Amino acid sequence: MNKHIYHREIDQQAGDSLAHIAGLIQHAGDVLDVGTGSGALGRYLAGLEGYRVDGITYNPAEAELAAPHYRQLHVLNLEQANSLDVLGERRYRYIVCADVLEHLAGPAPVLARLAAFLADDGELIISVPNIAYIGVVAELLAGEFRYRDEGLLDHTHLHFFTRRSLAEMLRGADLGVRAWRSVSRPLPASEFAARRLDHLPDSMQRFLSGREDSHTYQFVLLAGRGIEQADAEENPPLFDTPHFSAQVFWAEQGGAGFAESQSALAYGLLGQERQVLRFSIPAMAAPLASLRIDPAERPGFVRLFEIRLVDAAEQVRWRWHPAQHDFSTAHGLVACPAAWNNPERQLALLNDDPNFVIKLDEPLPAQQGLTLELELGWPYLPEAAVLGQQMGAMQEQAHIERERLLAVQRQQCSELAASQHRLGDLQAQLSAHIEQIAQLAQQNGTLRIELAHAQDALAHARGMLAAVRGSKLWRLGRRLRLTRISL
């Protein structure tokens, strides 16, 4: 059995299995919550009048978290034959098995034993995952069946159910279905989002999407004794054709920018020539300044007609038309210019996260909240995804080439900087040599002046010597051999 703790909360607006279960509990009385998890159902019913809730779990850690919300909480193994004896003579108006049966090796005998604890007007509420969900089928077609920690292929699931096999198991326990509920989940919003159907032919995509329960993620049903036939399903699956998901982010004036907490999702239909996706933008104290729009989560071609912001009175407060405006920035897409006689703009989406940003000319007050209407079309062209992927590959190749050229440019800039540095060193050396030569030239000029002075002195001395030699006294001394002056 599973020792993983499943943390969940009940939000009746969420449309998930717990919300459906809460909606099916309409009469006060005793409730047995089989598989309490962290105690979400007990916590929810404890806040309502007239309900007394007991719980069962296999996991002691879950029991410790959930115990404060239950009258009694039993830790036991449902598959042990006498494990339910701890309930004694209690009989319950509702017994809830929320995502429990798929974890059991023998769910049918457990279901029969639990049914014995129903009051005369008691009913079972059961939720189980749908193994025929389109995401599981898509993985099988790709040759995969990959278990996960949670979800439809939780690694602790031992049994898998379709609508038919679940109804047959109930009949085997002498139970009939009073009402069915389907929890729909579009493929892009599931754990199988990466397993798209784009690689399949159009006819196969339509066949898989149009099958009964193809987009049913979980079944929730109300069952009891003596029921011949189930009531008609009140919430049939919403999607019977392939679809895509779009996301809108908004940023306030002076805010920090785009964040996941300030975004909304909507789902569009593939093959729909023109459709309007609506995104609710909550009330904001600061004016709305800019929008980031992710038109899809896959490659392909989209026709963009118009974007509008509408207030609560359905008055258009702002309008953006592709023939009159352009994106502030765009990533992962190529926008072909709108033709003069064509109101839309063709967008080639190149990867799994294409997006564009639009800055409003004037910030728009949004104290009462707004609705963004994205009017677009996704023509059902099987080659669109292929072309988008090819364009994406070309863009990736261009990116690689751009990076290569940038690397070459950086190398050349580095070499140029090194050459400039070397040139600076040589220029410094040349300046030093020039200064040294100037100093030597100055010294040479000084020496020339000193040499000229010495030559003048020598000439003067020679003149004086010649005068002495020409005197009578010099000649007398020469005769007497008394003079020996020379120069």
pLDDT band at 8 (very low <50, low <70, confident <90, very high): low
Give yes or no: residues 85 and 221 share one domain. Answer: yes
The confidence score (pLDDT) of residue 15 equals: 64
Give yes or no: residues 210 and 256 share one domain. Answer: no
Whole-Å CA distances, 366 to 13, 220, 316: 23, 39, 13
Distance CA 73, CA 54 (A): 6
Give yes or no: residues 337 and 438 share one domain. Answer: no
Of 225, 251, 267, which residue constitutes the final position of a domain? 225
Pairing between β-strand 243-252 and β-strand 263-269 as defined by DSSP bridges: antiparallel
- Assess if residue 389 is contained within a domain: no
Q: Using the predicted structure, report yes or no on whether residue 84 has a pLDDT greater than 70.
A: yes
Give yes or no: residues 160 and 47 share one domain. Answer: yes
Mean pLDDT along residues 292-309: 90
Q: In this structure, are residues 283 and 290 in contact, taking their beta carbons and an 8 Å threshold?
A: no
The confidence score (pLDDT) of residue 287 equals: 93
Q: Using the predicted structure, report yes or no on whether residue 357 has a pLDDT greater than 70.
A: yes
The confidence score (pLDDT) of residue 391 equals: 60
Mean pLDDT along residues 339-345: 67
CATH number for 50: 3.40.50.150
Alpha helices (H) in 143-267, listed in sequence order:
163-172, 202-210
Residue of higher predicted confidence among 204 and 46: 46
Q: What is the dihedral of CA 334, 339, 343, 345, to 10 degrees?
A: 0
The least confident of 125-129, 320-324, 336-340 is 336-340
- Assess if residue 270 is contained within a domain: yes
The confidence score (pLDDT) of residue 381 equals: 59
- Assess if residue 234 is contained within a domain: no
HSE at residue 217, side-chain half, CA atoms within 13 A, is 20
Q: Tokens representing 106? A: 């023998």
Mean pLDDT along residues 108-133: 95
Give yes or no: residues 362 and 274 share one domain. Answer: yes
Specify which residues 73 forms β-bridges with: 55
What are the b/e assignments for 185-205, b being 16+ CB within 10 Å?
Answer: bbbbbbbbeebbbbebeeeeb
- Assess if residue 393 is contained within a domain: no
Mean pLDDT taken over the chain: 85
Give yes or no: residues 288 and 437 share one domain. Answer: no
The confidence score (pLDDT) of residue 110 equals: 95
Q: Using the predicted structure, report yes or no on whether residue 300 has a pLDDT greater than 60.
A: yes
Burial of residue 486 (CB within 10 Å: 0-12, 13-18, 19+) is exposed
Mean pLDDT along residues 122-141: 93
The 3-state secondary structure of 51-101, one letter per residue: EEEEEEECCHHHHHHHHHHCCEEEECCCCCCCHHHHHCCCCEEEEEEECCH
Q: Using the predicted structure, report yes or no on whether residue 481 has a pLDDT greater than 80.
A: no
What pTM did the predictor assign?
0.58
The confidence score (pLDDT) of residue 388 equals: 56
Of 342, 361, 381, which residue constitutes the final position of a domain? 381
Give yes or no: residues 368 and 473 share one domain. Answer: no
Distance CA 481, CA 90 (A): 165
Domain containing residue 428: 410-486
The confidence score (pLDDT) of residue 234 equals: 46
Per DSSP, the three-state class of 260 is: helix
Give yes or no: residues 159 and 216 share one domain. Answer: yes
The confidence score (pLDDT) of residue 186 equals: 81
Q: Using the predicted structure, report yes or no on whether residue 120 has a pLDDT greater than 90.
A: yes
Mean pLDDT along residues 436-441: 91
Of 381, 400, 428, which residue constitutes the final position of a domain? 381
The confidence score (pLDDT) of residue 232 equals: 43
pLDDT digit string, tens, across residues 219-241: 999 999 877 655 444 444 445 56
pLDDT digit string, tens, across residues 383-406: 455 455 556 566 677 778 888 888
Going by C-beta distance under 8 Å and a sequence separation of 6 or more, which residues neighbour residue 239?
184, 186, 209, 214, 215, 267, 269
Q: Tokens representing 223? A: 């069952």
Distance CA 150, CA 156 (A): 9
The least confident of 99-108, 308-317, 340-349, 453-462 is 340-349
Mean pLDDT along residues 416-421: 89
The confidence score (pLDDT) of residue 236 equals: 46
Q: Number of folded domains in the chain?
A: 3
HSE at residue 173, side-chain half, CA atoms within 13 A, is 23
Q: Using the predicted structure, report yes or no on whether residue 484 has a pLDDT greater than 70.
A: no
Closest CA to 318 of 245, 265, 367, 372: 372
Give yes or no: residues 375 and 423 share one domain. Answer: no
